[in-house]
Each structure stands twice: as C-alpha cells, then as structure tokens.
Amino acid sequence: MERSGWPEEGDLVVCTVKKVTDFGAFVELDEYGGKEGLIHISEVASGWVKYIRDHVREGQKIVCKVLYVDTAKHHIDLSLKDVNEHQRREKIQ
C-alpha cells in the first residue's frame, strides 16, 4: 500500500534494511515511496547492543515505530524496540 507524504510520529511502518553501520541501520520505508529513515543503535533492542548485525541485516523486512519526523531535513528517526510482537504481526497482515 503506497502512501504519499510523510509518516506521523507514533505510526508503525514496514521497512527494508538498506545499510547497517556501527551506530545504527538505514532503512527504506516501503509504504512511503522509498523515503529513508534511521534506526539508532539505542533503538534496535532493549538492553545493550554489542553487535547491531545480531539484530538486523541488509535486505530484512522489519516493522518500526516512527519516533521523530523532520520534513525540512528529510529525516525520519525510527525505533525497532518499541514494536511488540502483536503490533508487528498486525502490521504485516
């Protein structure tokens, strides 16, 4: 389902992981025409993350929660740890 514009803070979005770095993961928002977002390493999992690649890898489909949107800078901050299993299943349906 393609949407125009920008996601709202608090929305759940389906993403594809594009690039994993030491400080986070860059993802493409599937529903928003290829807009990109960042999941900071602190938002990948609850607790301390030593190796981010243990949690996400390139090409993986994930469901994230939108934390912050800055349309002027084309910047979207996302969280993976704030999405529970029930929300994840419901969004993928």
Mean pLDDT along residues 13-21: 96
Phi and psi, residue 58, nearest 5°: -55, 140
Which element (helix H / strand E) includes 88?
helix 85-92
Which element (helix H / strand E) includes 65?
strand 61-70
pLDDT at 21 over 90: yes
Complete domains list, the chain, with CATH: 12-92 (2.40.50.140)
pLDDT at 33 over 90: no
Closest CA to 65 of 53, 55, 77, 74: 77
Looking at every residue in the chain, the average pLDDT score rounds to 92
Give the predicted TM-score (pTM) of the model.
Answer: 0.91
